[in-house]
Amino acid sequence: QKEVEQNSGPLSVPEGAIASLNCTYSDRGSQSFFWYRQYSGKSPELIMSIYSNGDKEDGRFTAQLNKASQYVSLLIRDSQPSDSATYLCAVSRNAGNMLTFGGGTRLMVKP
C-alpha cells in the first residue's frame, strides 16, 4: 500500500464546474497536509495547507481534512481551463519536514 494515494485521473470537468480531488494517507502520525499544483514541465506550486480537521477555504479552493478517516480533499469551484494541471497531495509528520507525495491527479478543465 502506498503511503499517500491519489487517483491518477485524468479527471475531466467542464469549465465553471466544481472539481473534487481526493487523497488518502496511511501514516496516522501525519499532522500536516498540503496540496500542490504542478503544470507540465514545471515544479510544484503550493495551493493550500491544512493542519486540523474540517474545511479551509482560500478563494476558489477549499481543502477538507478528516484525520479519523485519513482523508484529505481539495475542491476547486468555478473551474477554469487554467486550472488544468496535476494536483499533488503531500503529507508530513511535522510541517516543514520531509513531505511524502501522492502520485498526483491530472485535472482537465474543458472550455
Partner 1 sequence: GAVVSQHPSWVICKSGTSVKIECRSLDFQATTMFWYRQFPKQSLMLMATSNEGSKATYEQGVEKDKFLINHASLTLSTLTVTSAHPEDSSFYICSARRSGLAGGTDTQYFGPGTRLTVL
The residues that touch partner 1, with contacts defined as CB under 8 A, are: 32, 36, 41-46, 49, 51, 88, 94-104
Q: Cβ closer to partner 1: 54 or 111?
A: 54
The nearest distance, CB 98 to partner 1, in angstroms, is: 6
Cis peptide before 111 (omega within 30 of 0): no
The nearest distance, CB 106 to partner 1, in angstroms, is: 9
| CB distance 3 to 101 below 8 Å | no
The nearest distance, CB 107 to partner 1, in angstroms, is: 15
The three-state DSSP-derived secondary structure of 29-57 is CCCEEEEEEECCCCCCEEEEEECCCEEEE
